[in-house]
Amino acid sequence: MLVEVRSTGGKTYYLSYRDTRGKQRMFKLANAGDITPAQARQLCDKRRMQLAMGEDIADERQAARSCPRVDEFFYEQYLPYAKSYKRSWDTDVSYYETHIRDCIGELHMDSVGKREVIVLMQTANQRIAPSSAYRLFVLVRYMFNLAVRWNVGGIKQNPTSGYDLPRIENHRERYLNKEETQRLLNAINRSRNPMLRFIIPMLLLTGARKREVLDARWADFDTERRFWRIPYTKAGTERHVPLSDAALALLRSIPRRSNCLYVFANPNTHQPYVSIYYSWHSARKEAGLADVRVHDLRHSFASFLVNAGCSLYEVQKLLGHSSAKMTQRYSHLNQTSLLRAVSLAQDYVCSTAGAEGISTMPAVTERKVS
C-alpha cells in the first residue's frame, strides 16, 4: 500500500499491483481524509484477496464507470434491439415514458435495486389496471435481463428477481353460436362500409387476426393449392392458412381494382384500412351483439372447430399458436371425445363385474379403528 502526499497537503491511499498481463498498476483505495490508516489497510487486504482470486479490480471500476443510465440504456440499446423483431415496440415506448422514465430513468443501471423496483410498481399500481401493471413489470424485467446478458456496465443481477407479481389471467371467452353468427352476417351485409361484408366473413372462415386480414395482399393467396400465406404474424414468423371452399368463393366475390395490391383495401384510398371500428360497432349493435369484439370472431372460429370434433393440435396449427398452452382455453368446449373415453372404461369395468353389471361390485365401507 502506498500513500501519495501532495503539495496541497492532500493524501491518497493506493494499492500497487501487477495485472494479469504483468503490467504495473496503481489502484486508488480512498482519500486519507475519508478513512483511517487501519481502515485503509483493511481495504488494501480486501483488494489483494480479490486479485489473488483472479479478479481484475481495474476492470470492475471501469465497468462501473461505463454503466449507463436507465434512460440511455432504453433508447440506445434496448429500443433498437426491440425494433428489430418486436411489432409492439411502440407500446414499450409508451410504458417507459409514462411510468418508468420519471421513476428510475435518471438512475444508473447498477443503482437500481429491489427497493426502486418496489417503489416503481407501487406507484404504477395506483394508476393503472393490474394487467397493465403486469406488462410494465415484464418490460422492466426484460430490460434488466438483457443488460445482464449483454454485461452492460458489469451488471450481474436483475433487481426484479425475487419480486413476486402474480400474472393476471384476463382471458375473455365469448363465442358466437349459429343463430348469433347469422344475425351478425345479416347486419354486416347491410353495412355502409362496402368491404365489411368481406372482412368479417374472412375472419370467421379462417380464424385470422384482424390486422392479418386487413393487410392481406392478392399475391399472398394461392387459390390453386388452396392456402393463404401470411408473411409476418404476431410471433414474427410466416404461416400458411388453408382455404375452405367458402373462403375461396368469398375471395372470388371480392371486386378487384387495377393497381391495388390489397384484397380488403379501402375503395377510396386503395390502401389497408387503419380501423374498421365504427362500421363494425354499428353492425354488431344492430345485430344485438354489442359485447362481441372483432377478436371474438377468432375465438368463435376455434369453437366451431372443437365442436366439429377437431383436435386441439389441429386448432393450434390453424390459429398459428406457438404453444399448445394457448390453445388449452378451448379444451372445455366439447366433451364428446372425453365421454367416449370414459364409456370405454365403463364397458371394461361392467364386463369384468359379470352379467349382473356394476351393481354386483362390493361396496366400499369404512373400517372403524379401535
Q: Verify that 136 and 182 share a domain, yes or no.
A: no
More confident residue, 237 or 80: 80
Q: Verify that 318 and 198 share a domain, yes or no.
A: yes
Asked whether residue 167 is domain-assigned, the answer is no
Report pLDDT digits (tens) over 32-57.
778 888 888 888 788 788 777 766 66
Asked whether residue 251 is domain-assigned, the answer is yes
- Between β-strands 11-18 and 24-31, what pairing exists: parallel, antiparallel or unpaired? antiparallel
Q: Verify that 294 and 195 share a domain, yes or no.
A: yes
Q: Verify that 61 and 118 share a domain, yes or no.
A: no
Asked whether residue 17 is domain-assigned, the answer is yes
Q: What pLDDT shows up at residue 315?
A: 84
Report pLDDT digits (tens) over 96-141.
999 999 999 999 988 899 999 999 999 999 999 888 899 999 999 9
Q: Verify that 250 and 233 share a domain, yes or no.
A: yes
Q: What pLDDT shows up at residue 141?
A: 94
Asked whether residue 361 is domain-assigned, the answer is no
Asked whether residue 257 is domain-assigned, the answer is yes
Q: Verify that 195 and 320 share a domain, yes or no.
A: yes
Q: Verify that 192 and 307 share a domain, yes or no.
A: yes
Report pLDDT digits (tens) over 314-331.
888 888 887 777 777 777
CATH number (domain holding residue 43): 3.30.160.390
Asked whether residue 308 is domain-assigned, the answer is yes
Q: Verify that 115 and 251 share a domain, yes or no.
A: no
Gap between the Cα atoms of 145 and 159, Å rounded: 9
Is pLDDT of 20 > 60? yes
Q: What pLDDT shows up at residue 61?
A: 57
Gap between the Cα atoms of 332 and 342, Å rounded: 16
Q: How confident is the model at residue 236 (pLDDT cuts 50, 70, 90)?
A: low
Nearest Cα residue to 301 out of 325, 330, 335: 330
Asked whether residue 213 is domain-assigned, the answer is yes
Q: Verify that 200 and 148 share a domain, yes or no.
A: no
CA pseudo-torsion sign 209, 212, 214, 220: negative
CATH number (domain holding residue 310): 1.10.443.10
Number of domains composing the chain: 3
Q: Domain boundary residue among 154, 189, 223? A: 154
- Host domain of residue 19: 2-66
Average pLDDT over residues 199-206: 95
